[in-house]
Amino acid sequence: MGPSDLTLRLQQLGFIQGETIWFLGRTAFQGPFLVELRGVAVALRDIEARCLEVKWIDQGSDR
Amino acid sequence: MSCPRIAVIGAPNAGKTTLYNWITGSKFRAVNYPGSTVEFALGHALSQYECPLEVIDTPGVYSLSPKSPEEEVTLRILNDEAPTGVIAVVDATQLARHLFIVHQLQEQNVPVVMALTMTDLLKKKGFEVDVKKLSEILKIPVVVVDGRLGSGVKELLLAATTISESFEFQHHQWDERTIQKTYQIIDKIITEVVSTRGSQKLQNFQRSDMTTRYIDRWVLSPWAGLPIFILILGTLFTSIFWLAQPLMDWVDIFFSFLGEQTFALVGAGLFGQFLQDGFIAGLGAVLVFVPQIFILFLGLTLLEDWGYLARAASIMDRPLSKVGLNGRSFVPLLSGFACAIPAMMAARTISSRHERFLTLFVIPLMSCSARLPVFALLLAYLFQDQAPWKPGLALAAIYILSIVLGMVAAALASRWIRSDETSFFMLELPSYRRPRLRNALKTAYQRTGHYIQRAGKAILVLSVIIWVGTVFPNYNMENPSERLATSYAAQAGHYIEPIMSPMGGDWRVGLSLVSAFAAREVFVSSLALIFNVTDDDEDSLQQGLLNSMKTATNSNGEFIFTTSTVTGLIFFFIVALQCMSTVVIAKKESESWSFALGQLGIFTVAAYLLTVLLVQALRLFGIP
């Protein structure tokens, strides 16, 4: 997969403009980011997470 | 008119394999991990449904733009296998994502019928789907299917028959705008068809369930995740030893009894000797370890069903990426502890060719179930009359060592096989499901049954060869030691002895090692045969073998099975690739004989040289 394929793949998974995602944290060893979207948690490496532009909305503990 | 051919397509973990099993009566295993199906299966609908259909089960896909070999299989089916329709399997709890593939299929003029699964789970979450309305909006039949009970399957097949028509699949790559538009349509559909129950709010529809979120807070936590990971796998591997011991004793008693009864029934003739000393002793020496293998399979099955494997893959991604592997390599590597063959097939979910080859390369280093009888025997020898937790801990250390060696091999090989490919991970973490013990027991039973069948054949064939080799030509000699020393096996074994002596073994150990290239566990049955273990005295078969090993000496009168030799043998079995089936599968998965034979050569030579070094180093430090 090249970088453009990666962006497309993220979009197919539901990472589209205006989508609300929940940041769950990171695994041990500074491993993948864990986010939740459309009812499922997804683990993303730095290189994949960097493809996303995110605006932070603080919802207290429910994130 | 030819029979309609329907492909079952959907996102990973939507319930395709479970549905396929209901339709065809197959017994493929559905696993709570994305990518558990890596190749397609073709079957016929059971006659009870009164719908003569051919059905194809496919690997899960998120879209019709494949990114890994197993996803390409699904697209190839639509292109080459000429299905006349598609059953799109949609998990009701994942409607917001799974409708994407349905929409893509429809846009490409594929006749579709939707199977809506997991509606019971959706109800538990406090939501309901208006199936009639969903069908009207999408303009396709939608049928609710219960994966646990099989209800709705007949209606689904009837609907599939009605939509069935030949079509030409034309694959188009979707751009960003089309994807965005499709998700907007899906969101609109959801607001129209999903309703809430009780105090539930519609905005929570796109959140995972509370239990999964709660467990994940611990399991994926940066500080608790790793200790939990170690605890889960540590418990699994140490329980193999201490939990199985009482069951192993029963199997041992059974084979001792069987040997005695056979001898009494058939008599002391040549055939009676073969049955008792050859086949039953050989088979019993290996099958005594079946309870351990069963516990290993049961533990792995429970982890698969629970949904933990995707989490473990996420935790391991960073460390594995340091040696050129991928977090997605974790599940194939873990499966390698059961058997390298399905493990190598599971590596297809890795999209990077470089990482997939590295994973294929190191899988044989994971200690498969065939090695378990060998380790169990050698550890029982090293830890005789000691507390049972000691061999258990030593077994856990063997598993850890095999992982460490796998990582070292991957790090070395990744320097050798360089690649400019960018590596990706991106893994969906499915909701946790309560494992059903009955199903897990059934699966573990089936896997163990396959193991016994496979091992049993190899043991039977090798037992005949080795027994003939150790008894003939002087079969009527009274003294068994003299008979063995002048046997065909001894004559052949003396050619191996110069190779074996640096490892600390003699021709008998060498012959057992050579026979283990047919199947690793044959090493144990060969030892039992060569050392002529019978149930003559009060001891059980296993104890008899251990006693024979204890007193065995080489031609110089030195003990063969010393601490250094036995440790060396354990190390040899950790590294050596002694499985012809693995070589064949490695060739198939890599599409290269050079890769498969190179792997065989590298691991065998490395195993020998490292074992010699280890044995000599131990002796240098005064360990006998």
Q: Give the tens place of pLDDT for each residue, B119-164.
A: 998 898 889 999 999 999 999 999 999 988 889 999 999 999 988 7
Report the predicted TM-score, pTM, of the whole model to 2 decimal places. Answer: 0.80
Q: Residue B60 pLDDT more than 90?
A: no
The residue with greater pLDDT, B114 or B552, is B114
How near does any CA of chain A get to the CA of B404, in Å? 17
Over range A15-19, report the average pLDDT.
91
Q: Residue B496 pLDDT more than 60?
A: yes
How near does any CA of chain B get to the CA of A57, in Å? 16
How near does any CA of chain A get to the CA of B396, in Å? 22
B321 chain-A contacts, CB cut-off 8 A: 45
Choose from A5, A7, A8, A12 for mutation: most chain B CBs within 10 A.
Answer: A12
List pLDDT tens digits, range B528-539. Answer: 877 765 545 545
Q: Residue B203 pLDDT more than 80?
A: no
Q: Residue B613 pLDDT more than 90?
A: yes
Q: Which two tokens stand for residue B210?
A: 């509370």
List pLDDT tens digits, range B381-412. Answer: 998 878 777 888 888 889 889 989 999 999 99
**By CA distance, what is B207's nearest residue in A?**
A39
Q: How much is the ipTM here?
A: 0.90
Are the Cβ atoms of A32 and B96 closer than 8 angstroms? no
**Least CB–CB distance from B314: residue in A5, A31, A40:** A31
Query: Chain A: which residues have CB within 8 Å of chain B?
Result: 1-3, 5-14, 16-17, 19-20, 22, 24-32, 34, 36-45, 47-48
Nearest Cα neighbor of B595 from B353, B236, B421, B234 is: B353
List pLDDT tens digits, range B347-370. Answer: 877 878 889 999 999 999 998 888
| Strand B112-117 to B127-129 pairing | unpaired
Are the Cβ atoms of A38 and B97 closer than 8 angstroms? yes
Are the Cβ atoms of B426 and A44 closer than 8 angstroms? yes
Over range B72-79, report the average pLDDT.
84
Nearest Cα neighbor of B531 from B518, B541, B517 is: B541
Are the Cβ atoms of B430 and A11 closer than 8 angstroms? no
Q: Residue B114 pLDDT more than 80?
A: yes
Give the phi and the psi of residue A35 in degrees, each rounded to 5. -125, 160
Q: What does B100-138 look like in DSSP terms, one character per residue?
A: HHHHHHHHTT--EEEEEE-HHHHHHHTEEE-HHHHHHHH
How near does any CA of chain B get to the CA of A60, in Å? 15
CA–CA distance, B136 with B150 (Å, rounded to integer): 24
Q: What does B463-501 look like in DSSP terms, one character per residue?
A: HHHHHHHHH-S-TT-S-HHHHHHTSHHHHHHHHHHHHHG
How near does any CA of chain B get to the CA of A40, in Å? 5
Are the Cβ atoms of B67 and A27 closer than 8 angstroms? no
For residue B17, CA distances in Å to B40, B89, B369, B514 come to: 10, 10, 26, 41
Give me the sign of the Cα torsion angle A40, A46, A47, A50: positive
**By CA distance, what is A45's nearest residue in B?**
B425
List pLDDT tens digits, range B461-480. Answer: 777 787 788 777 877 777 76
Residue A63: its pLDDT value, please? Answer: 44
**By CA distance, what is B66's nearest residue in A?**
A9
CA–CA distance, B556 with B565 (Å, rounded to integer): 16
CA–CA distance, B181 with A29 (Å, rounded to integer): 38
Nearest Cα neighbor of A25 from B217, B314, B224 is: B217
Choose from B129, B183, B320 for mutation: most chain A CBs within 10 A.
Answer: B183
Residue B366: its pLDDT value, please? Answer: 93
Are the Cβ atoms of B63 and A12 closer than 8 angstroms? yes
Residue B412: its pLDDT value, please? Answer: 92
Angle, in degrees to the nearest 10, between helices B153-163 and B16-24: 90
For residue A7, CA distances in Å to B177, B206, B600 come to: 13, 22, 39
Choose from B180, B424, B432 for mutation: most chain A CBs within 10 A.
Answer: B424
- What is the distance in angstroms between the CA of the first residue and the CA of the last residue of chain A? 30
Q: Which residue has the tokens 């129950």?
A: B197
Residue B66, Ramachandran bin (φ over 0: left; ψ between -120 and 50: alpha; else beta): beta
Q: Which residue has the tokens 């948690």?
A: A41
Over range B422-440, report the average pLDDT.
85
Beta strands in chain A (DSSP E): 22-26, 33-37, 40-44
